[in-house]
Amino acid sequence: MEKKQLKKLIDVAAGRCKADLVLKNCRIADVYNAEFITGDIAISDGFIAGIGKYDGGKEQNLQGAVVVPGFIDSHIHIESACVSPEEIGALLVPHGTTTIIADPHEIVNVCGLTGMNYMIKAAKNTVLNIEYMLPSCVPATPFEHAGADITAAVMQRAMADNDILGMGEFMNFPGVISADDEVLNKLLTAKKNKKIIDGHGPGLTGNALNAYIAAGIADDHECSTLEEMHDKLARGMYVILRNGSACHDLLTLVRGITTANERRCLLCSDDRQPKTIFAKGHLEDHLRICVANGIAPFAALRMATLNAAECFGLNDRGAVAPGRRADLAVLNNLDEFVVENVYIKGQLVSTDGKYLPEVKKYPIDSVTGSCHVKDFSVKKLALRLKSKLVKTIDILPDGVVTEKGTASVDLDENGLFVYPSKADIVKIAVVERHKNTGNVAVALLRNYGIKRGAVAVSIAHDSHNIIVVGTNDGDMEYAVNELIKQQGGIVLTCEHNIIANMPMPIAGIMSDKNGEWVNKRLIAIHTAAYEKLGINRYIDPIMTLCFMALPVIPKLKITDMGLFDVDKFAFTSVEA
């Protein structure tokens, strides 16, 4: 802020000159005292000058509407919404969200810092404030091939950038706990630049949890039980309660929020697809869930505003108070959280669910053409086994944690897996698409429910190789080849015909279309998945599949290098 702006802000606050804008007759949500203040909000150059009684060059009578701080999503991957940064702004702002803490490790896994630079530049074309974390684990583990390798040396050059808020979720928790040398270098890079470090430590307890937090990890969004939540809070962590398209931990963890610990609790979506946003909204959906489960409205509101601002050092927002950014959401009440209008830096940017700014796009040339697959053929999908007793990746409902299963399967005279007619066990394969290695790993998946055809996606957290599931090798091969032709995205096939698809030219993980277009495509894809392929309706057929290649989420996953036991943090055979 320049001296001239500061003087003006003080003069407006003191009542010596008129504000640029005054929102009159508001019920201002005071997140500090958990009460309403009736009065006006004076705005000068995008900042709140004061609350009370003011005159402005422009005035808007809110007639007693509730005004709250703009919502802050504490952890989100833009790429998982399948849209660009400009389009995520158009999707989220009408729901009262004014700031998101974004970890672009999806695109960085594909395109390296070129992808990071694209995201930063594209974000400047939306009024949504996108605060970026520098991905910490690219690749997430050494047990897969990604499109880039972000070392501590690379981080040292990038971390000092003012566009970088902190270090993204540290998924390599075994590396932290064992004090791996390269991990230490990464952690120290963040510490030396006085940047926050995000956590990702599912299931950690005891001394392992102590070691992880002692390393400087500030928060975690991977709690799945009340005991885990309590332990992390007791050791000084912020706990981020997640409610996305695939993971709904908030529904469990909300029971662990108390008057004693609510100031250390935040809200996030992590991964939220357009269909979920259109159907349920964004953080206002989280807030409704909290209040419906007995959390006091102001406590819930703090989790989406002040708590998040304090956690991430965003001291210019999170409250309706003098000197803060005029990032405001106008609501009907603190029970239903219906968002009527949204202001960002004092400008009206959404009214009645409509995003008002023109959406301008940054060029995507630097992040296209990302499918580089060597020597793929149907032969690489063969699964030869030494025993009929096998391990299966068992999908569990409402999450991305999988179980280690065992089953007895049929083999032909050559020891090749034979697709069963009744058992819900099918092949799952990961095809490397970044380095032309030719790697294809094959394992077995249970509880996906697919009855016919195949599904192939180039969204496979976090390295984003191609992942394909099917009931026969022919459809699986066809789906992969069609996915390569369209340079990434989603393809559903049946009897060598495409029954639904969505190209994603941005790194093979994001569409260049708007949210409504993506939403319609995803609805068509989900409909085809359930009705034509018979996939189980209690899971998200795409987002669930996308997490089957993530070797840092328990318990059994698959990468392009083979079947991976997350508990043992080592590869394992398909045979039991």
Amino acid letter at 202? P
Where do the domains of the chain lie?
A: 3-64, 68-356, 368-571
The token pair that represents 477 in the structure block: 């091969």
Pairing of strands 97-102, 129-134: parallel
| CA–CA distance, 242 with 245 (Å, rounded to integer) | 10
Measured in degrees and rounded to the nearest 5, phi and psi for residue 280 equal -125, -10
pLDDT band for position 426 (cuts 50, 70, 90): very high
Q: For 487-542, how does the pLDDT look when each residue is reduced to its tens digit (9 = 90+)?
A: 999 999 999 999 999 999 999 999 999 999 999 999 999 999 999 999 999 888 99
265, 351, 397, 508, 522 from 83: Cα distances, Å: 28, 22, 26, 11, 12
What angle do helix axes 113-123 and 85-92 make, rounded to 10 degrees?
40
Q: For 447-477, how does the pLDDT look when each residue is reduced to its tens digit (9 = 90+)?
A: 999 999 999 999 999 899 999 999 999 999 9
Among 3.20.20.140, 3.40.80.10, 3.40.50.720, 3.30.70.20, name the CATH number for the domain at 68-356. 3.20.20.140
Give burial (CB, 10 Å; 0-12/13-18/19+) of 226.
middle
Residue 421 has pLDDT above 80, yes or no: no
Cβ–Cβ under 8 Å, residues 322 and 343: no
Percent with pLDDT over 90 in the chain = 91
Q: Do domains 3-64 and 68-356 have the same CATH topology?
A: no
pLDDT of residue 420: 84
Among 2.30.40.10, 3.20.20.150, 1.25.60.10, 2.30.38.10, name the CATH number for the domain at 3-64. 2.30.40.10
Adjacency order of strands within the sheet including 425-431: 402-408, 389-395, 440-446, 425-431, 466-470, 454-457, 489-494, 497-503
pLDDT band for position 125 (cuts 50, 70, 90): very high
pLDDT of residue 400: 81
